[in-house]
Amino acid sequence: MKILVGIKRVVDYNVRVRVLPDGSGVDTDGVKMSVNPFDEIALEEALRIKEAGKAEEVIVVSVGGDECQQQLRTGLAMGADRAIQVKTGESLQPLSVARAFLKIIEREQPGLVILGKQAIDDDNSQTGQMLAALWDRPQATFASKLTLSDGSATVVREVDIGLETIEIDLPAVVTVDLRLNEPRFVKLPDIMKAKRKPLDVVPLEDLDVGADSNLSVTKFAPPAQRAKGIMVEDAAQLVQELKNRGLV
Amino acid sequence: MVNFKTSGATDALRRACPELRLVTEAGVLASHGRDWTRFREPAPCAVAFPKSVQQVCELVACASAERIPLVPSGGRTGLSGGAVAAHGEVVVSFDRMRRVLDFDPIDRTVTVEAGVVTAAVQELARTRNLYYPVSFASEGSSQIGGNVATNAGGIRVLRYGLTREQVAGLKVVTGRGEVLECNRGLVKNASGYDLRHLFIGSEGTLGLVVEATLRLTDPPLPSKVMLLGVGGMDALMNVFDTLRADLALTAFEFFTDRALHYVRAGLGLPKPLDTACPLYVIAEFDCPTGAEEDRAMASFERCVQQNWLLDGVISQNDRQVAELWRYREGISESISHFPPYKNDLSVTISRVPEFLQRMDELVDEICPDFEVVWYGHIGDGNLHMNILKPGAMELSEFESRSHEISEKTYALTQSIGGSISAEHGIGLLKRPWLNRAHSAAEIEMMQGIKNVFDPAGIFNPGKLL
Ligand SMILES: Cc1cc2nc3c(=O)[nH]c(=O)nc-3n(C[C@H](O)[C@H](O)[C@H](O)COP(=O)(O)OP(=O)(O)OC[C@H]3O[C@@H](n4cnc5c(N)ncnc54)[C@H](O)[C@@H]3O)c2cc1C
């Protein structure tokens, strides 16, 4: 079985994101870029499945410009066997990304597709679900435990009321949650090896996925600044301040 | 310690400073009567919590008139017993002086009261898109006053220097009751003796630091961290030389396999490398683009070819940066229960290999029955030697055995021009060996300086000098 894993290049989770003054986007100049943390967990899970002898090949796929090759190389260094870059200069909406993935699926015929439950930059949480629908295969989202058996998978999902366990037929799309696993460190010798692993570049145009959706981002704005708090001396002053503000 | 007033000190202070919060409750005496060290039982007569410079001045005036010994106390994370009050002193805590007084974006400085916690300054800098580079495992508790008094170092000295390099101004209250405003945030000031620098590293023996103006700097570039497995002591500095030539290092730390054992057990961390190695290094470097990572790889390969390095991992995101740092930053805490007898040695970088070699032989010879855990800021020539107390041994016997070891360790350190304290200070625990770090003439001059600032000798008697 082949496993396909999606990898998105995003601003590092620990970076304090700053909106550009003209509202056209966020400042990525000199900012640390990393693999979307959920995608890292997805890849870790795929590698564990392979190491357990239940898959033969792990392929990482990213849709984006050449800079995302850096994140694909990270995936290869973690242990993926090969990488595919669907090359585009545009920043695509989830539906187009799902369509591009579908084309890759048609070529590769994976038994399992593992994606992050969302990307931490746009927080859309849509690609996995859309892909499953387009592919017309089962989906298991927000996975916190994944067990494979012959032709099917048991998935524990994190839902609002607790944990839900479902069983799905393979091939399927699984999107992963934070608690699924702890991704490994990359071994330095493996970075060298990763340089020799294949990384195919497929222009988006060649995949014939049609035009991007009719959704476009018009403006970015930082969250409203919280007003500065004040220290009150005692309860009486607290009550007075609340009254002054018309809150009691 | 002559003629100190310890009985009745509390009453005298209450009378002279009615506004001052003075606590004599047993729990507070125990908690505020000592630092991180465990070799002396805390026994202060009271703990004072001044709220303003004014209150500090009143307190000092009374203490000086009545000859009440004072022990300045910050976050109490000190490792040399500097903030220990074991003889009925009054502890002066800065816990209630935690205000940020000023931030100046043009000077890029922040002025804070002495009780502000180190991590709070780091955070404040971050919110202004600036950086306060002094960083170490206890930064969540240690205070700026304590950092100044010990000239604290930490893990980024290699790039940014010690606390001394960050201090642009100090407000201090001397034993004569004067308030000195040293340097006032100036970049340049060639007007005679720079008293600021005397207070930095003075370990609370010259006066009380009440405010500090600290320099902030540009935020660091995106960085990566490597955890590397080193072949042996002799390879360590070769690895440092190689990486330093190829990369813009911000930190270079080392620890032994025994240290790894304890930190893994203490924090429940997984094995970082597949290969077991005698020594490990944490190397952090600027890595804004892929090019630096390629250079790091090439550097790594060269070290592997020389058999200096056996294995290594590299962070892929900032979460992993933090995870890898835990292997180094968690060590101190993971062995604190023994407790360890800590030596904080430094030599010039060029003499590190010779020093390590000779220390290794010495340890084998003088303490084969003790477990010794080594780690430290090796890129600064600074080694922390931790001798662990065997479970069955009495603390007092352990201390006297450790002293015998110190005697020889310090003699060796002195013989190659090193120091018996790199960053923790002399305090109470290293005081008997001050003469291993300074000549008799130097110590006499230090005593003279002490007498000028603290004529009544009320500040931290029995510490440092
Ligand atoms: C886990 C751990 C890791 C550490 N790592 C490092 C490290 O990497 N590098 C390093 O340098 N240190 C390290 N330390 C030691 C310690 O954190 C530093 O020495 C720190 O600067 C002490 O600050 P503090 O506020 O806790 O001071 P305290 O321990 O309270 O006091 C230290 C000294 O300063 C004096 N003092 C405190 N406040 C004032 C004041 N306002 N005015 C005058 N004198 C004052 C005290 O009398 C005492 O002599 C570590 C400690 C721990 C527990």
Q: Kindly write down the DSSP assignment for every residue of B181-204, as one continuous string.
A: EESTT-S---SS--THHHHTT-TT
- For residue B54, tell me if it sits in a domain: yes
Amino acid at B336: S
Q: Is the same domain home to B127 and B86?
A: no
What is the residue range of A114's domain?
A: 2-244
The CA B91 to ligand 1 mean position distance, Å, reads 15
Residue B455 forms part of a structural domain: no
Give yes or no: residues B285 and B254 share one domain: yes
Supply the range of the domain harboring residue B51: 9-96
- Kindly state whether residue B4 falls inside one of the protein's structural domains: no
Report which secondary-structure segment, H or E, holds B209.
Answer: strand B207-215
- Phi–psi pair at B219, nearest 5 degrees: -60, 145
Residue A91 sits in a domain of what CATH number? 3.40.50.620
Please say whether the beta carbons of A192 and A71 come within 8 A. no
Residues contacting B322, CB < 8 A, separation 6+: A14
User: What whole-number percentage of chain A has pLDDT above 70?
Assistant: 99
Is B454 inside any structural domain?
no
How much is the pTM? 0.87
Task: Say if B457 falls within a structural domain.
Answer: no
Q: What is the rounded average pLDDT of the residues B322-331?
A: 96
Q: Which of B171, B189, B215 is the last residue of a domain?
A: B215
In terms of domains, do B322 and B237 share one?
A: yes
Q: Is the same domain home to B156 and B249?
A: no
Find the mean pLDDT for residues B97-124: 98
Beta carbons of B222 and A12 less than 8 Å apart: yes
| Residues B256/B278, Cβ–Cβ less than 8 Å | yes
Pocket of ligand 1 (CB under 6 A): B 35-36, 71-79, 82-83, 94, 114, 136-138, 142-143, 145-147, 149-150, 152-154, 203-204, 208-209, 332-333, 423-424, 427, 460
Please list, in sequence order, all residues whose beta carbon lies within 8 angstroms of the beta carbon of residue B455, skipping any fewer than 6 positions away.
B175, B176
3-state SS assignment for residue A242: helix
Give the count of beta carbons closer than 10 Å to the beta carbon of residue B333: 15
B328 and B342 housed in the same domain: no
Q: Looking at the 3D structure of chain A, how many domains does it have? A: 1
User: Is B264 inside any structural domain?
Assistant: yes
Quick one: CA torsion of A63, A87, A136, A111, rounded to 10 degrees? -80
Quick one: B195 and B112 in the same domain? yes
| CATH number of the domain to which B108 belongs | 3.30.465.10
A102: closest CA among A128, A72, A71?
A128
Chosen domain end from B215, B241, B267: B215
* A10-38 per-position pLDDT tens digit: 999 888 888 999 988 888 888 889 999 99
Question: What are the residue ranges of helices labelled H in B67-216?
Answer: 118-127, 144-150, 157-160, 163-166, 196-199
Say how many domains are in chain B. 4
| Mutational test site, ligand 1, from B79, B139, B211, B343, max ligand atoms within 8 Å of CB | B79
ipTM higher than the 0.85 cut: no
Residues B70 and B151 in one domain: no
Distance (Å) from CA B44 to ligand 1 centroid:
19
Summarised one tens digit per residue, pLDDT across range B9-58 is: 999 999 999 999 999 999 999 999 999 998 899 999 999 999 999 999 99
Task: State pLDDT tens for residues B385-405.
Answer: 999 999 999 999 999 999 999
- Same domain, residue pair B285 and B378: no
Residues of chain A found within 8 Å of residue B221, distances taken between Cβ atoms: 30
Where are the alpha helices (H) located in B173-317, listed in sequence order?
196-199, 233-246, 257-267, 290-305
Which CATH number belongs to the domain containing residue B259 in this structure? 3.30.70.2190
Looking at the predicted structure, is the pLDDT value of residue B3 above 70?
Answer: no
Are β-strands A139-149 and A172-176 bridged in parallel, bridged antiparallel, or unpaired? parallel
pLDDT-derived band at A132 (thresholds 50, 70, 90) equals very high
How does strand B279-286 pair with strand B371-376?
A: unpaired
Output the residue whose Cα is nearest ligand 1's atom 15.
B78
Tell me if B463 is assigned to some domain: no
Same-domain check for residues B293 and B240: yes
Amino acid at B399: E
Q: Are residues B180 and B235 in the same domain?
A: no
In this structure, is residue B286 part of a structural domain? yes
| pLDDT tens by residue, B199-243 | 999 999 999 999 999 999 999 999 999 999 999 988 999 999 999
B112 and B81 in a common domain: no
Question: In terms of domains, do B373 and B397 share one?
Answer: yes
Residue closest to B97 by CA, chosen among B75, B78, B82: B75
